[in-house]
Amino acid sequence: MTRIVGTTNTDGTGSATNLNVNNGQEISSSNSAPYVSYEEDNYFYSSLSIENTTEWNADGLKEISITDLNGVEETTINNFVDVYITAHTDLTSSDDGEWSSLFSDISIYNAKRGYIDTTSADDSTSYDDYITISPISNGSSWSNLFEIQTGSGQDQVQFESTDGSTQYTEFDVDLGDDSDLFDYGLEAAASQSQTRHVDGGSGDDFLYLSSDAVDLDFENFEVVFGQDDRSLTLDQDILAKNDGLLIDKVAIDIADDYDTVSVTALSDDQISYIDQLSDSNPWTYLSSDEYYAVTVTYDAEEYTILTNDIDSDWLVSA
Q: How many Å separate Cα 307 from the centre of its chain?
A: 24
At 96 the pLDDT is 47
Q: Where are the beta strands (DSSP E) in 36-73?
A: 36-42, 46-52, 63-67
Q: Which helix (H) or strand (E) holds 260?
A: strand 260-264
Using 50, 70 and 90 to split pLDDT, how confident is the model at 69?
Answer: confident
Q: Is residue 9 part of a domain?
A: yes
At 90 the pLDDT is 45
Identify which of 119-128, 165-174, 274-283 has the greatest average pLDDT: 165-174
Across the range 184-193, mean pLDDT stands at 95
At 73 the pLDDT is 86
CA-CA distance, 127 to 135, in Å (whole number)?
24
At 32 the pLDDT is 77
Identify which of 13-17, 88-92, 180-184 has the greatest average pLDDT: 180-184
The residue segments making up the domain with residue 137 are 2-221
At 119 the pLDDT is 86
Higher pLDDT, 92 or 309: 309
- Phi, then psi, of 171 in degrees rounded to 5: -155, 155
Using 50, 70 and 90 to split pLDDT, how confident is the model at 223?
Answer: very high
Dihedral of the alpha carbons of 48, 53, 58, 63, in degrees to the nearest 10: 0
CA-CA distance, 90 to 233, in Å (whole number)?
41
Q: Which helix (H) or strand (E) holds 33?
A: none
Across the range 294-303, mean pLDDT stands at 93
Q: Is residue 276 part of a domain?
A: no
Sheet holding 25-26, edge to edge: 25-26, 2-6, 63-67, 82-86, 113-117, 145-149, 170-174, 196-199, 217-219
- Phi, then psi, of 209 in degrees rounded to 5: -100, 105
At 264 the pLDDT is 94
- Phi, then psi, of 115 in degrees rounded to 5: -135, 125
Using 50, 70 and 90 to split pLDDT, how confident is the model at 227?
Answer: confident
At 201 the pLDDT is 95
Q: Is residue 130 part of a domain?
A: yes
Q: Is residue 285 part of a domain?
A: no
CA-CA distance, 82 to 125, in Å (whole number)?
29
CA angle 149, 220, 140 (to 5 degrees): 55
Higher pLDDT, 282 or 183: 183
At 150 the pLDDT is 92
pTM: 0.93
Higher pLDDT, 277 or 71: 277
At 233 the pLDDT is 94
Whether 204 and 180 have beta carbons less than 8 Å apart is answered as: no
Q: Is residue 234 part of a domain?
A: no
Q: Is residue 151 part of a domain?
A: yes
CA-CA distance, 53 to 36, in Å (whole number)?
6
Q: Is residue 147 part of a domain?
A: yes
Across the range 86-113, mean pLDDT stands at 68
Q: CA-based diameter of the chain, in Å?
A: 70
**The amino acid at 73:** E
Using 50, 70 and 90 to split pLDDT, how confident is the model at 152?
Answer: confident
CA-CA distance, 74 to 44, in Å (whole number)?
11
At 95 the pLDDT is 47
Number of domains in the chain: 1
Q: Is residue 105 part of a domain?
A: yes
At 121 the pLDDT is 62
